[in-house]
Structure 1
Amino acid sequence: MAWDVLNFIAVASFAFSGAVVAISERYDIFGVFILGIATAFAGGIMRNVILQEDVTQVWEQGVFLYVAIAIIVIAYIMPKSWVLFWNKWNVYLDAFGLSAFAIQGALFAIVHELSFGAILFSAVITGVGGGMVRDLLAQKRPMVLHAEIYAVWALLAGVALGIGVIDYTSSWQLYTLFLTIMVFRLLSYHLNWHLRFRDIYRI
C-alpha cells in the first residue's frame, strides 16, 4: 500500500511539474505531454536500464500512466495565471517527487535483493532522473548540478532504508521518511544550504 501511495505521489508531482514547465516555456500540447510523461517516468526507466532489471515501458505503467495523463490535462487547461503561479513554486512539486521517487527507488532495489550500493544508486537515480530530464528538455540547468543540496537528500533516503534505520515494511515509517526528506529539501532551498567550497570561487 505504501509503495502504491508513494508511486502515486511521485508520478502526480513530477507529471504536473513537467507540464507546468512546458506550458510556461510555451510548448505546444504535444510538447506538454512529452515533458510531463518524461518527468514522471524517466527516472524509473533509467534506473532499470542501468541496474539491468526488466524495464516497464511507459505504456505499460497501468493506472500510473492514466494518473500522469490526467494531471497533464488538468495542467494544460488551467488558466495561464495559475500555471505561472505553480511554475514559481515548482520547487515544492519537485520536493514531493524527489522524496517519493527516492524512497520508491530504494524500495525497488531492496525488493530485488540488490546490494547496498545498488540501493543508494537506485534511490538517487530514481529521485533525480525525472527532474534532470525535465530540465534538460526545457533547456535549463538541471537542479542536481546546482551548488545547493539536491541529490544528497535522495541519497539519504537510500541510506536510511539500506542500513535498516527505516523499516521498509512499516508504512508509517516510510511516510515519516518521505516527509523528512521533503522538508529537508525545502529547507536546503529556502536557507540556501550548499555543498560548494567558497574558496574555490575566489580563485
Structure 2
Amino acid sequence: MAWEFLNIIGTIAFAISGAIVAMEEECDLFGVYLLGMVTAFGGGAVRNLLIGLPPTTLWNQELLFQIAFGAITLFFLMPNHLFKQWSSWGQVTDAVGLSAFAIQGAIYAVSLGLPIEAVIGAAVLTGTGGGMIRDVLARRKPMIVHEEVYAVWAAGAGFLIGLDFINGDFFYYTLFIIIVILRVLSYTRGWRLPVRSFKK
C-alpha cells in the first residue's frame, strides 16, 4: 500500500517539478514533457542500474507514465495567473518527490535483501537522480551539490529503513511527512551543510 502510494505521489510531484523548471527556462512543449518525464523517472532508472536490475524494468510502469503525462498536460494547460502562483510551489513539489522516492527506493532495496549501504544509495539516487538529470538538462546547478541540505534527508530515510528502525505503512507515511517538512524548512530557514572553499 505504502509502496504504491509513494510511487504515485512521487511521480506526480516530480513530473510537475520538472514541468515548472522547463517553463521557468521557457522550454517548448516537448521540453516541458521531456524534463517532466526525466524528473519523474530518472531517479528510478539510475537506482535500477545501481542495484543490477535490467533497464527494461523502467518500461513496465505504463500506468505511472500515463499519470505523469496527465499531470504534465494539466499543469501546462493551467491559466497564466494560476501558473504564477504554482511556480512558487516548485520547491514544495520537489520536496514531496524527494521524500516519496527516497522512501520508495529504500523499501525496494530492502525487499531485494541488499546491505544497508545499497539501501542508502538507492534512497539517495531514487530521491535525487531525476532532479539531477533535470537540472543538468536545464543548465542549472544540481540541488544535490548545493550546500543547502537536500540529499541528507534521502540518506537519512535509507539509513532508518535499512536498519529496520522504520517498518510498516504507518511509519513510512510518518517518515514521508517528516522528510517533506524538514526539506521545506531547510530551504526556508537556510539550513546549510559545512562548506570549504579554496577561493580567497
State the TM-score, normalized to the length of structure 2: 0.94
Instruction: State the distance in 2 between where 1:123 and 1:27 align.
Output: 30
Q: Secondary structure at the match of 2:186?
A: helix
Q: Which residue is 1:159 aligned to?
A: 159
* 1:48-93 alpha-carbon deviations (Å, 9 max, x no partner): 1122113345543121111000001001111123223322221100
Stretches of 4+ moved more than 6 A in 1? Answer: none
1:31 aligns with 2:31: yes
Contact 1:166 1:174 in 2 (8 A): yes
Compare 87-96 and 52-61 and name the one that shifted more. 52-61
Give the Cα separation in 2 of the matches to 1:202 and 1:55: 41
Cα separation, partners in 2 of 1:161 and 1:58, compared to 1, 3 Å? closer
Q: Which deviates the most, 127-136 or 93-102?
A: 127-136
Once the two structures are superposed, residues 12-52 of structure 1 have per-residue CA deviations (whole angstroms, 9 ceiling, x without a partner) of: 00001111211222211111111110000000001111221
Residue 169 of structure 2: aligned partner: 171
Aligned 1:111-190 pairs, distance under 5 A: 111-167=111-167, 170-190=168-188
Count the aligned residue pairs.
200
Query: CA contact under 8 A between 1:43 and 1:130: conserved in structure 2?
Result: yes
One-letter code aligned to 2:178: T
Identity %: 44
What are the equivalent positions in structure 2 for 1:8-157 lying under 5 Å apart?
8-56=8-56, 58-157=58-157
* Cα displacement string for residues 104-134 of structure 1 (whole angstroms, at most 9, x for unaligned residues): 1101100111111100000000000011111
**Deviation, structure 1 residue 201:** 7.5
8 Å contact kept, 2:44–2:58: no
Change (3 A) 1:38 1:171: same
- Aligned position for 1:6: 6
Gaps of 5+ in 1: none
Query: 2:12–2:71: 8 Å Cα contact kept in structure 1?
Result: yes
Match of 2:192 in 1: 194
**Which stretch has the larger CA shift, 93-102 or 137-146?**
137-146
User: Which letter does structure 2 place at the counterpart of 1:180?
Assistant: I
RMSD: 1.5
Aligned mates of 1:52, 1:26 — CA distance in 2: 37
**CA distance in 1 between partners of 2:58 and 2:79 (Å):** 28
Q: Distance in 2 between matches of 1:47 and 1:155?
A: 14
